[in-house]
Amino acid sequence: MTATTSLTHQDIPLVFSAEVADALHAGRPVVALESNVITHGLPYPDNAATARKVEEAVRAGGSVPATIAVESGKVVVGMTDADIDRFASTPGIPKVSSRDMPVVLAQGRMGALTVASSVVAAELAGIPFFSSAGIGGVHRGADRTMDVSSDLIQFTRSKVAVVCAGAKKILDLGLTLEYLETQCVPVVSYRSDDFPAFYCESSGFRSPMRLDDDEVIARSVENHWALGNNSSFLITTPVRPEEAIDSDEVDAAITEAMAAADRDGIRGQAITKYLMRAVDAATQGRSSKANMAVLVSTAEVGGRLAAAHARLRAESRSA
């Protein structure tokens, strides 16, 4: 009988940029970033410029950015300027979630990573921190549709600290928080009492925990994994007040758009884009500007918290 072997995570090819490889080797802080915002956000060249602003914000926070994508059967950890331009200007690059990664890697295609696939790649690459403007969650009407973002499922499987501005208002944020509690995923709000809602300062729900100190957050992340958990640690940071969109204005637009979507039979993956466009129209484009602002402000906080975490690990090694 011929013996067979299976691939392991060590068999997935990772291609690091020189900067990211050097930082990881030296124990310097690195923040993983999703590439989906390049391919499925703004038109070229605004999408490339925004991706660079997000990377600059991570640097301003004291860390090295590592925007992650898949190409030619490899996970690219730390996209170069040329990579960003190529992804930003190439039409039709698919959005790749964690369920899609094995197939897209096998096919050798280009793929832009979402939150779920980015945390998978970040853990493989040994990057403990990931930043995103907003995570997915439980959708409104999930009791009928079973529409729950794969982001939440992946958080139960990947040991990565996720820094974000909460979840989008179009979701059922109460059920999203309930799901995270049920799955024992810690949710900590950084210098805020409330769970934020993307470009709205508050979702209307109080955060399970508030922490104001960078070092305490770093120790909390380490404690979570030291206790034997193989899951993510969620850290939320609200949009700056001057860049926020009024919650009542967004809620009114969502309510109207939900009724229209139900009438027109729009559901599944199409509903998110439909609702976001409706909110953008209702706010005369202000939500798109706020979206960009959230990407940048969250990345800066992610860089700062990753730096605190790297200092903690360095102190532990030298003790």
66 and 136 assigned to the same domain: no
Match 């995103």 to its residue by tokens: 132
Closest by Cα among 121, 147, 126, 123 to 136: 147
Out of 43-47, 207-211, 278-282, least confident range: 278-282
- Point out the catalytic residue in the list 34, 55, 71, 300: 34
- Point out the catalytic residue in the list 55, 71, 123, 168: 168
- 256-266: b (≥16 Cβ within 10 Å) or e: ebbeebeeeee
245 and 160 assigned to the same domain: yes
224 and 276 assigned to the same domain: yes
**Residue 159 is a catalytic residue:** no
For the chain, counts of helices (H) and of strands (E): 13, 13
118 and 172 assigned to the same domain: no
Q: What are the DSSP calls for 125-172, one per residue? A: HT--EEE-S-B--BBTTHHHH--B-HHHHHHTT---EEEESBB-TTB-
Q: Is 255 domain-assigned?
A: yes
Q: What is the mean pLDDT of residues 17-46?
A: 94
Range(s) of the domain holding residue 199 = 132-314
136 and 272 assigned to the same domain: yes
**Residue 168 is a catalytic residue:** yes
The residue with greater pLDDT, 94 or 270, is 94
In whole angstroms, how far apart are CA 184 and each of 152, 213, 232? 11, 22, 9
Q: Is 41 helix (H, G, I), strand (E, B) or coil?
A: coil
Q: Is 1 domain-assigned?
A: no
239 and 296 assigned to the same domain: yes
150 and 290 assigned to the same domain: yes
**What does the pLDDT read at residue 268?**
66
75 and 136 assigned to the same domain: no
In the chain, how many domains are there? 2
Tell me the per-residue pLDDT of 104-136, one tens digit each, with 9 for 90 and over.
Answer: 999 999 999 999 999 999 999 999 999 999 999
Which helix H or strand E contains 270, and what residues bound it?
helix 270-282
In whole angstroms, how far apart are CA 181 and each of 63, 144, 152, 174, 209? 30, 21, 11, 11, 12
Tell me the per-residue pLDDT of 55-112, one tens digit each, with 9 for 90 and over.
Answer: 999 999 999 999 999 999 999 999 999 999 999 999 999 999 999 999 999 999 999 9
Tell me the per-residue pLDDT of 9-24, one tens digit each, with 9 for 90 and over.
Answer: 678 999 999 999 999 9
Match 């700056």 to its residue by tokens: 240
Q: Is 305 helix (H, G, I), strand (E, B) or coil?
A: helix
- The mean of the pLDDT values for the chain is 91
Which of 127, 157, 182 terminates a domain? The answer is 127
